[in-house]
Amino acid sequence: MPIEPADPVSRAFLNVENSASGQRWVSRLDQAGLNRAMAISQIHGLPDVVARVLAGRDVPVDGAPAFLDPTIRALMPDPATLTDCIRAAERLVEAIRRREKIAIFGDYDVDGASSSALMYRFLAHFDVAPEIYIPDRIFEGYGPNPAAIGQLIDRGARLIVTVDCGSTSHESLAVAAERGIDVLVIDHHQIAQPYPQAVAIVNPNRDDDLSGQGHLCAAGVVYLVLVAAARLLREAKDKRAFTLDLLAWLDIVALATVCDVVPLKGLNRAYVVKGLLAARNMGNAGLAALFRKAGLGGPVTTYHLGFLIGPRINAGGRIGDAALGSRLLTVDDPNLAGEIADRLDELNRERQAMEAAMLEEAEAEVMAEYGDGEGAAVIITARENWHPGIAGLLASRLKERYRRPAFAIAFDPNGRGTGSGRSISGFDMGKMVRAAVDEGILVKGGGHAMAAGLTVERANLGRLRSFFEERASRVVPGLVAAHTLKIDGAVGATGATLQLIDQLESAGPYGAGHPQPVLALPAHRLTDARMVGTNHVKITVESLDGTRLDGIAFRAVETPLGHFLLNGRGRNIHLAGSLGADFWQGTRRVQLRVLDAAPAP
């Protein structure tokens, strides 16, 4: 059996109480979980490792087959269960019949670009040529603004559809209402009454929506609206509706679902599973061009969407032309798609260089402001020369490094700062930011539990630090102290085979809400460790029978884990990580993504 029985949950896994990364290793499965895994394996004839993965993610025994084979048909709700969905679909159909000028107002991230592209492709299929408007992150900020709404109306828009934004844009949507222009809002961000003026607000997170689809990203919600509109058009015997293939666009929905880091449960799992199949067909010229530019090796996976494609599309919105992402996903000309992909790849390289320089400055500020960071419940860094489009990435790196909520704020010459924050599991950052807005500390701000954005005047920075620290100190120290790494099982280098990887992948795809299985490799000798790339650590370990396995710890050089590995050659160590297949010169081979390590007795 490739996976060995786990230690009882009350004990540290392999007795690792304090790893190189300062974590306690624990078994993901308690005794009840082990029993459930055994039942899943025996009743459904599944490999032990697959059963353990499912049990460790609370999949019930009778739900295992459906979980392993999620289908759109089984998991898609009736769009009518979403508040205002049918109203929005009816208004879209009316605009198509009247051949009205339609403007799509999107966000500048992957979800916004994907949502805009879906709406564009749908309308274009029915011979309506909409205009896509993506605001400039620096000069306009997130969401509709009155000036942009006015410009769209001046250019002839009779219907404005906001996607991945608009739920809190009262002033901007009021401009449209005053001028007699209808607005449809299709979004997923947190929203509270009173709602802005619009013909329809389709947002599964509004308090009067009972659909249970609040976990969808914006593109997932847009897709449901389009399903409803297509149904209405088929009922009206519109011939074009019968040639529409919405399933072919699931690659765009999967891209947004993965990159917006929404939970891979329910309909989201079906979106991603079927979307990966569509992506592997390379039917979208833009995605195909970007896959080629990124050097795709092997079949498309969630890793490729999240770490190769997503950052390149986001680079346009962060430091370049915010509309490049949506343009890439809407073009059918391979040559034009190649040109856009080249530009996005170039911008991504520029972004990486800027991020590295900003991270160095941010870490120096953390040392000056917080020492080693251990005494702070929340970390706030701020500079004038930072690019605001990279603030979110910076916050994410700081959160990973110091294991606590972190913010990065870029101030302009006038003393107004635009910042982003990233949180740790168990702490609702969005709620804290909204409280700061209510207190008058922030100009504006919002978000969700794991991420938030804000605008603050420099004069209020000290007040903001105190407010956030006071709020976070009630919860964060306990979360940090309980920092654990959940282990799904143990395997030796001999058992780390491509067959095992295939078995693990059958329970995927993995992502938010369905984490990649973490396996421990007990007492392997570290035969080699060296730095590769900019700051990764490449290792080779050897089991007692002489079997070797390669692994890599990403962005680890300057971390405690990196120091432990680089200074541990020749020692016996425990490793924890995720197994995956690495493609090298057409050959598929096993590689361990190292997440943690500890000395072995």
pLDDT at 5: 42
For residue 190, name the pLDDT band (cuts at 50, 70, 90). confident
Q: What is the 3-state secondary structure (H, E, C) of 399-455?
A: HHHHCCCEEEEEECCCCEEEEEEECCCCCCHHHHHHHHHHCCCCCEEEECCCEEEEE
Distance CA(179)–CA(309), nearest Å, equals 39
483: which 2 tokens?
A: 């920092």
pTM score: 0.90
Q: What is the mean pLDDT of the chain?
A: 93
| Mode of pairing for the β-strands spanning 200-202 and 182-186 | parallel
CATH architecture of 74-243: Alpha-Beta Complex (3.90)
Q: pLDDT per residue over 360-413, tens digit each?
A: 999 999 999 887 767 899 999 999 989 999 999 999 999 988 989 999 999 999
111 Cβ neighbours under 8 A, 6+ residues apart: 164, 217, 218, 219, 256, 259, 260
Residues forming CATH 3.90.1640.30 domain(s) in the chain: 74-243
Q: pLDDT per residue over 277-328, tens digit each?
A: 999 999 999 999 999 999 887 899 999 999 999 999 999 988 889 999 999 9
For residue 10, name the pLDDT band (cuts at 50, 70, 90). low
For residue 247, name the pLDDT band (cuts at 50, 70, 90). very high
**Backbone phi and psi for residue 37, each to the nearest 5 degrees, phi listed first:** -60, -40
Strand partners, 590: 581
Chain CA centroid to CA 383, Å: 26
pLDDT at 415: 95
Is residue 210 scored above 60 in pLDDT? yes
For residue 7, name the pLDDT band (cuts at 50, 70, 90). very low
Mean pLDDT of 231-240: 97
Number of neighbouring beta carbons within 10 Å of residue 370: 17
Residues forming CATH 2.40.50.460 domain(s) in the chain: 13-29+488-599
Mean pLDDT of 430-441: 94
Residues forming CATH 3.10.310.30 domain(s) in the chain: 371-481
Is residue 28 scored above 70 in pLDDT? yes
Count Cβ atoms within 10 A of the Cβ of residue 137 and give its class: 0-12 exposed, 13-18 middle, 19 or more buried.
buried
Q: pLDDT per residue over 46-76, tens digit each?
A: 999 899 999 999 999 999 999 999 999 999 9
Domain topology for 13-29+488-599? OB fold (Dihydrolipoamide Acetyltransferase, E2P) (2.40.50)
Mean pLDDT of 114-124: 98
pLDDT at 446: 82
117: which 2 tokens?
A: 């592209």
Q: Which CATH class is domain 371-481?
A: alpha beta
Angle at 79 between CA 159 and CA 271, to 5 degrees: 100
Mean pLDDT of 452-458: 94
Sign of CA dihedral 300, 303, 308, 309: positive
pLDDT at 372: 72
Q: Which of 243, 248, 185 is nearest to 218 (CA)?
A: 185
- Is 366 within 8 Å of 398 (Cβ atoms)? yes
For residue 451, name the pLDDT band (cuts at 50, 70, 90). confident
Is residue 85 scored above 60 in pLDDT? yes
- Is 242 within 8 Å of 231 (Cβ atoms)? no
Number of neighbouring beta carbons within 10 Å of residue 449: 15
Mean pLDDT of 530-534: 91
Chain CA centroid to CA 298, Å: 22
Number of neighbouring beta carbons within 10 Å of residue 1: 10
